[in-house]
Amino acid sequence: MSHLETCVGCGAVLPAIPDGAIHRYMTSSAACWSAFNELSLLEHGAFAALSVDAFAVHHPGTLSPQTTQSVAIHLMVLHGVLKRGFKPSQALWLRSRPGRPSQMSKHERFHWLTPPDLTHGITVSDVIAAATPLERSTRLESWVRAVYALWSAAHEAQIAAWFNQFVIAEKI
């Protein structure tokens, strides 16, 4: 019987992958990172463009300049699509806007948002476990929306303010 491991990010309980790879700062179990990589290969629906954003904020890691920036930017992408009428196909553009060169140093732009409790609800492994491609696409969208909802309940005003300042405004 394989040993089960709880993901420190999303709380998914999955068979452990001893010495499995994980992302450098999106801290997760190796099984969770593996499920995310599998999803990237399988899924090509509209919301697939947001799976990296959902995974990143579901596995925020701990405070550092890099994680602070990562969480802020990925939340802005989700906010743009789920709350401001942008399309998933614009995710790459949304992701690139907040890091535009300006007088303001990248590390002054954002501060660490304390993650809400992210360890309940649908996870990337639930998406992968879907029986059919259609079901997988449906679960993928549910996962993206659910993870953003957890963050927005805690930090919506800050995410919206950053979005206005760093994505919408002509100049940073």
Residues that bind Zn ion (CB under 5 A): 7, 9-10, 12, 28, 32
**Whole-number minimum distance, CB 56 to Zn ion, in Å?**
11
**Whole-number minimum distance, CB 149 to Zn ion, in Å?**
17
Q: Map residue 93 onto helix, strand or coil.
A: helix
Backbone angles phi, psi at 15, to 5 degrees: -55, 130
User: Which CB, 57 or 73, lies closer to Zn ion?
Assistant: 57
User: Which CB, 9 or 60, lies closer to Zn ion?
Assistant: 9
The dihedral through the CA atoms of 148, 79, 73, 113 has a sign that is negative
User: Which CB, 56 or 91, lies closer to Zn ion?
Assistant: 56
**Whole-number minimum distance, CB 168 to Zn ion, in Å?**
31
How many other C-beta atoms are found inside a 10 Å radius of the C-beta of residue 134?
10
Cα separation, 139 vs 136, in Å, equals 5
**Whole-number minimum distance, CB 7 to Zn ion, in Å?**
3
Q: Tokens at residue 110, please?
A: 């954002």
**Whole-number minimum distance, CB 54 to Zn ion, in Å?**
11
How many contiguous H segments (helices) and E segments (strands) does the chain have? 7, 2
Cα separation, 8 vs 41, in Å, equals 24
User: Which CB, 55 or 163, lies closer to Zn ion?
Assistant: 55
User: Which CB, 149 or 160, lies closer to Zn ion?
Assistant: 149
